[in-house]
C-alpha cells in the first residue's frame, strides 16, 4: 500500500514536472515571438527615420525618382482604369434595386459619387497597388539583396537608402493620389454606364448630379489618406525587400510579406482616418 502511494506520488511529480517544462517552453516561445514583433517594429521605425533623413539630404536622386514615378504611375494606370470602371458599374447595378424601393433612383449618381470618392476609390486603388507595387518593390529589392547588388552599391560609396528606397517611397506617395483620381473618374464613367443600362441619362447630367452631392469635406480627407496609403505601400515594400534573407526563397517571402503587411496597414490607416474625419466633421 505504501509502495503504491509512493508510485502515485512519483507519477504526479513527473506529470507536474512535464507540465511545468511545457509551460516554460510555451512562455519562452511567446517571449521570443513578442521580442521578434517588437524588434521588427523597432527596425521599421529606424528604417523610416533613415528614409526621412535621406529625403532631405542634398544629393536627391531626381532622375531615379522620375523613373519610379513612371514605373509606379504609368504602368499601373491600365489596371486602375479597368478596376475603377468596373467598380462604378457594379456599385451602380447593385445599389439601384435598393434605391428604387425608396423611389430614390435619381439620387443614385450622388450616392455612388460619395461612396467612390470617400471610401471605395481610395481603398480599392490602394489595395490593388499594394498587390502590384508593394510586391514588385519587395521582390526587386529582395532580389537585389540576395544577389549582393545592394552591398555593391554601399561599397561603391552610394547610399542605397537614398537611391533605392527614398525614390520609391516618394514616388508611391505621390503617384497613389493621382491613381485614385483616375480610379474615381473612371468609376463615374462605369456608374454612368450602369445607370444607362436601365435608364437614359446624359453624361453631362450624370456628372452634374454626382458632383452636386460632393462637398470639400468628402474630397479633402480622402485625398490626404491616399498620400498615407502610398507612403505605407512604399515603406513596407522597400522594408521587406531590404530586410530579405540571403536565399532565393526569401525573395518570394519578401514580396508576399510586403503585400500582406501593407494591405493590413492600409485598412488600419483607413479606419483611423475615418475616425478622425468623423470627429472633425
Partner 1 sequence: MINSQETNTDTISDEKITSEVLIDIKNLKKSFGRLEVLKDISLKLHNGENLVVLGKSGSGKSVLIKCIVRLLNPDGGTINLLGKEVNSIKGKELSKIREKIGFLFQSGALYDSMTVKQNLEFPLVRIKKDLKEAEIDHKIKEVLENVGLADVLEKMPSQLSGGMRKRISLARSIILDPVIMLYDEPTTGLDPVTSDEISELINSVQEKYKTSSIIITHDIACVRLTADRIIMLHEGHVYAEGTLEEFEASDDPLIMSFFK
Three-class SS of 168-208: HHHHHHHHHHHHHHHHHHHHHHHHHHHHHHCCCCCHHHHHH
Hey, what's the cell of 153?
A: 552599391
Hey, what's the cell of 247?
A: 536565399
Nearest one of 151, 91, 82, 150 to 116, comparing CA atoms: 91
* Residues that bind partner 1 in the complex, under the rule CB under 8 A: 59, 140, 143-144, 147-149, 151-159
Instruction: Give the nearest distance from C-beta 256 to partner 1 in angstroms.
Output: 21
Instruction: Give the nearest distance from C-beta 66 to partner 1 in angstroms.
Output: 15
Reduced to 3 states, what is the DSSP secondary structure of residue 59?
Answer: coil
Hey, what's the cell of 75?
A: 504602368
The residue (of 61 and 270) whose beta carbon lies closer to partner 1 is 61
The residue (of 167 and 191) whose beta carbon lies closer to partner 1 is 167
The residue (of 153 and 214) whose beta carbon lies closer to partner 1 is 153
Nearest one of 210, 38, 8 to 108, comparing CA atoms: 210
The residue (of 149 and 213) whose beta carbon lies closer to partner 1 is 149
Instruction: Give the nearest distance from C-beta 18 to partner 1 in angstroms.
Output: 27
Instruction: Give the nearest distance from C-beta 157 to partner 1 in angstroms.
Output: 4
The residue (of 140 and 184) whose beta carbon lies closer to partner 1 is 140
Instruction: Give the nearest distance from C-beta 184 to partner 1 in angstroms.
Output: 32
Amino acid at each position: 500500500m505504501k509502495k503504491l502511494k509512493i508510485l502515485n506520488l512519483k507519477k504526479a511529480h513527473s506529470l507536474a514536472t512535464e507540465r511545468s517544462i511545457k509551460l516554460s517552453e510555451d512562455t519562452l516561445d511567446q517571449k521570443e515571438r513578442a521580442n521578434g514583433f517588437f524588434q521588427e517594429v523597432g527596425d521599421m521605425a529606424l528604417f523610416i527615420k533613415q528614409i526621412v533623413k535621406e529625403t532631405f539630404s542634398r544629393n536627391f536622386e531626381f532622375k531615379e525618382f522620375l523613373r519610379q514615378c513612371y514605373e509606379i504611375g504609368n504602368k499601373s494606370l491600365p489596371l486602375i482604369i479597368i478596376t475603377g470602371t468596373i467598380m462604378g458599374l457594379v456599385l451602380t447595378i447593385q445599389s439601384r434595386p435598393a434605391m428604387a424601393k425608396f423611389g430614390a433612383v435619381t439620387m443614385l449618381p450622388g450616392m455612388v459619387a460619395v461612396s467612390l470618392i470617400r471610401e471605395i476609390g481610395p481603398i480599392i486603388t490602394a489595395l490593388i497597388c499594394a498587390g502590384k507595387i508593394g510586391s514588385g518593390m519587395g521582390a526587386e529589392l529582395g532580389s537585389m539583396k540576395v544577389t549582393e547588388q545592394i552591398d555593391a552599391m554601399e561599397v561603391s560609396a552610394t547610399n542605397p537608402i537614398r537611391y533605392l528606397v527614398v525614390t520609391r517611397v516618394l514616388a508611391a506617395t505621390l503617384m497613389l493620389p493621382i491613381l485614385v483620381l483616375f480610379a474615381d473618374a473612371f468609376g463615374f464613367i462605369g456608374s454612368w454606364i450602369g445607370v444607362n443600362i436601365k435608364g437614359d441619362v446624359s453624361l453631362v447630367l450624370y456628372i452634374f448630379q454626382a458632383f452636386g452631392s460632393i462637398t470639400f469635406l468628402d474630397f479633402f480627407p480622402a485625398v490626404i489618406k491616399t498620400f498615407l496609403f502610398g507612403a505605407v505601400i512604399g515603406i513596407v515594400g522597400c522594408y521587406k525587400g531590404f530586410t530579405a534573407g540571403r536565399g532565393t526563397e526569401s525573395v518570394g517571402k519578401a514580396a508576399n510579406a510586403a503585400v500582406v503587411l501593407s494591405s493590413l496597414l492600409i485598412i488600419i490607416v483607413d479606419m483611423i482616418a475615418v475616425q478622425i474625419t468623423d470627429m472633425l466633421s
